Structure 1
Amino acid sequence: MASVLQSPLPLSHHRTSSSKSASTSLSNFPTTHRICNLPALHRRRSCDFKNDVICQSSSGEVTFIEPPKSAPSKDDLDGSLKIKLLSAVSGLNRGLAASEDDLRKADEAAKELETAGGPVDLLADMDKLQGRWKLVYSSAFSSRTLGGSRPGPPTGRLLPITLGQVFQRIDVFSKDFDNIVELELGAPWPLPPLEVTATLAHKFELIGSSGMKITFEKTTVKTTGNLSQLPALDIPRIPDGFRPQSNTGSGEFEVTYLDSDTRITRGDRGELRVFVIA
C-alpha cells in the first residue's frame, strides 16, 4: 500500500477506479484504519489532527501513534509545590497555632520546593529580593513568643499581645532590611487596645551565594488606629557593652528558595520562614 505521506494520485486515476475495487480495497483493513485509506486528497484532510495523532503506513497496515506526552515544566512543578506549601501553613496563624505535626508537614513541603528550585544565587538574583514581603509562616512562632527561637514577649498572658501582620522590607540598593511588625497591646478596661507598628531597622550583607547577615540599628514604634496622630518614637540601638550576649543585634540566615513572589529562609537557629511578596 502506498504511504500516506506520498503525493496525492492524479484526479483522473480516481475517476477511472471502479466503486467495486475501492470497496474491496477498504474491506481489507480494520475499521479503525480505514480513514487513512481514502483517496489522497481526502487523506490529507481526514488525517490532519494537528499533531494529536501520527499516521504511519507499512506494506500491510496503517497505524496510529500518539505523540509522547511532554513532561511538566519547571514553572508548573514549582507552582504545584508552592500551592502545597501554602496549603500546609494556612490556618496556622503564621505558626503561632502550629502543632508538632504541623511543623513536620510544613518542613517537608518546604524541602520539596527547595529541592525543585535548586541552589539560590543571590549575586545573580539580587533584584528578586527587592520589595515588601509578607510573612505567612515561621516555625519559631510555635514557641508562643514574639521572639521565636530567641527571647521575646509572650502572647496571650498577663499582658495580652496580639500579633498582626509581619513584613520584611528589603532595599537592595541601600542595603536596608526592615522587619515590620503590627501589634495590638491589651489595656485595662475600659481603655481600648493600643495598636502599634514596630519597625526594626537593619542593614544587610551577603554571605556566600545564598546567605545573608543583618545588623540591627534601631526600632521605631508608631501608633496606629485612633492614636495614629501621635509622633513615632525611635528607640536607638543599645551599645554593645550593655547588650546581653544572647542579643548581639545581628543574625544570619540562608535563602533556600527565591522567585518573583515566594521566598523561603532558614535561620541560624533552625527557624523556617515562608514569605510571599506583598
Structure 2
Amino acid sequence: MASVLQSRLPLYHSSPSPSSYCSSTFTCFFPINPRAQSIHTQMFHSKKNYHSKKDLLCKSALDKVSVIDPPGNDVEGSKTEIIGALKLKLLSAVSGLNRGLAASEDDLQKADSAAKELEGVGGPVDLSVELDKLQGRWKLIYSSAFSSRTLGGSRPGPPTGRLLPIILGQVFQRIDILSKDFDNIAELQLGTPWPLPPVEVTATLAHKFEVLGSSKIKIVFEKTTVKTTGNLSQLPPLDVPRIPDALRPASNTGSGEFEVTYLDSDTRVTRGDRGELRVFVIS
C-alpha cells in the first residue's frame, strides 16, 4: 500500500473585495515513494548505530583505564620487601653459630656474603641524619671476631673453650646519643673450684663515642664495671679503673673505630677497623 504524507494547507478563495477575503484549511494526502522512505529509515538507524558504537568504544576505553600508584611508591615498596628478605637471609646465616664462637670458615664466608648483599641494597649510612637510630640497647647476635676463640675477638682477650673457666653469655651494646655513652655489656659465667657453683657476672666496658664522617664511629675506653648476678647479686659492683696511657701496651690503646654499614630501626651491621663483621638487633 502506498504511503501518504498528511498535511494541512491553507486554501484562499478569490473575492472581488478585500472585505470578502476568507481562508480555510483542508487536508491533503501526498503519495511517498516507498524506496525513499526505506533509505530515510536506514540513514536514521545508521546514525543511531554510529553513536551507540562510539559510546561503547568510549566506555570500553574507560573500563581499561586503571589507577596506578606513582612509580616512586612502587620502587620504595619493592626495596622494602627486598631488604626484608635480605635481613632474614643474614639472620639465618648467623643463627646457630653461638654469636660466632662456633663459626667455621664456610660459615664466616656465608655470613659475610649475606651482609654485603644487605649493605648493597640498603645503601650508604649517613649518621648525620640517622643518628637517632643508634639509640637504645642492641643485642649482639654475631661477631666474626669470635671465631678466633677469644673474648677479645680480633684484639687481645681471654680464650674461650670447654676446658676454660669462662663461659660467654649474652653480649649487648648500650648507646646514648645525648650523653655519648657507648657501653659494651657482657654476661659471663666464671668457673669455681668444686663444689662451689659458678659465679655469674656482668661486665660493662664503658666508652665515650664520637661520629667521624658520615658512618664511622670512634670509641674511647673509660672503665670496666663488674657486677655479680644470680645468687651473689647483692654484692656491690666493682669498678676497674682505666689503665694510664703510659702503662698501656701499644697494641691496646683503649680506643677503636668501626663503620656502620647498615642501620634501620631494628637491625645494625658494623665492620671494625680490623675487618670484623658484627650483627646486632634491637633488644
TM-score class normalised by the smaller sequence: 0.7 to 0.9
Selected match of 1:126 from 122, 127, 131: 131
Report whether the alignment pairs 1:111 with 2:103: no
In the alignment, which residue of structure 1 is the partner of 2:70? Answer: none
Q: Which SS does the other structure have where 1:156 is aligned?
A: coil
Selected match of 1:86 from 75, 87, 91: 91
* CA displacement, residues 91-127 of structure 1 (integer Å, 9 cap, x when unaligned): 0000000000000000000000000010100011110
* CA displacement, residues 28-59 of structure 1 (integer Å, 9 cap, x when unaligned): xxxxxxxx8xxxxxx99xx69x959xxxxxxx
In the alignment, which residue of structure 1 is the partner of 2:146? Answer: 141
In the alignment, which residue of structure 2 is the partner of 1:210? Answer: 215
Segments of structure 2 that go 5 or more residues without pairing to the other structure are 1-52, 68-73
How far apart, in 2, do the equivalents of 1:87 and 1:176 lie? 31
Q: Which SS does the other structure have where 2:260 is aligned?
A: strand
In the alignment, which residue of structure 2 is the partner of 1:6? Answer: 58
Counterparts in 2 of 1:192 and 1:209: CA distance versus 1, 3 Å: same
Q: Which SS does the other structure have where 1:115 is aligned?
A: helix
CA RMSD of aligned residues (A): 2.1
Q: Which SS does the other structure have where 1:229 is aligned?
A: coil
Per-residue deviation, 1:160: 2.2
TM-score, reference length from structure 1: 0.76
How far apart, in 2, do the equivalents of 1:148 and 1:206 lie? 23
8 Å CA contact 1:197–1:224 kept in 2: the answer is yes
8 Å CA contact 1:220–1:235 kept in 2: the answer is yes
How far apart, in 2, do the equivalents of 1:160 and 1:3 lie? 87
In the alignment, which residue of structure 1 is the partner of 2:224? Answer: 219
Superposed, 1:243-258 pairs within 5 Å as 243-258=248-263
How far apart, in 2, do the equivalents of 1:225 and 1:130 lie? 28
What percent of counterpart residues are identical?
77
Q: Which SS does the other structure have where 1:124 is aligned?
A: helix
In the alignment, which residue of structure 2 is the partner of 1:262? Answer: 267
TM-score, reference length from structure 2: 0.75
Counterparts in 2 of 1:74 and 1:160: CA distance versus 1, 3 Å: same
8 Å CA contact 1:131–1:277 kept in 2: the answer is yes
Q: Residue type matched to 2:58 in 1?
A: Q
Report whether the alignment pairs 1:185 with 2:237: no
Q: Residue type matched to 2:193 in 1?
A: P
4+ long deviations beyond 6 Å: none
8 Å CA contact 1:168–1:178 kept in 2: the answer is yes
Per-residue deviation, 1:6: 2.6
Per-residue deviation, 1:189: 1.1
In the alignment, which residue of structure 1 is the partner of 2:39? Answer: none
8 Å CA contact 1:159–1:185 kept in 2: the answer is no
More helix, by proportion = 2
* CA displacement, residues 172-228 of structure 1 (integer Å, 9 cap, x when unaligned): 000000000000111111110110000000000011000000000000000000000
Counterparts in 2 of 1:115 and 1:188: CA distance versus 1, 3 Å: same
8 Å CA contact 1:163–1:183 kept in 2: the answer is yes
Which of the two has higher C-alpha Rg? 2
In the alignment, which residue of structure 1 is the partner of 2:204? Answer: 199
Selected match of 2:180 from 175, 185, 195: 175
How far apart, in 2, do the equivalents of 1:3 and 1:120 lie? 56
How far apart, in 2, do the equivalents of 1:276 and 1:215 lie? 23
Q: Which SS does the other structure have where 2:189 is aligned?
A: strand
How far apart, in 2, do the equivalents of 1:241 and 1:107 lie? 37
Q: Residue type matched to 1:94 in 2?
A: R
Selected match of 2:276 from 263, 271, 274: 271
How far apart, in 2, do the equivalents of 1:4 and 1:181 lie? 74
Per-residue deviation, 1:158: 5.0
The number of residues matched between the two structures is: 225
In the alignment, which residue of structure 2 is the partner of 1:26? Answer: none
Per-residue deviation, 1:3: 6.3
Per-residue deviation, 1:157: 5.4
Q: Residue type matched to 2:121 in 1?
A: A
Per-residue deviation, 1:5: 5.0
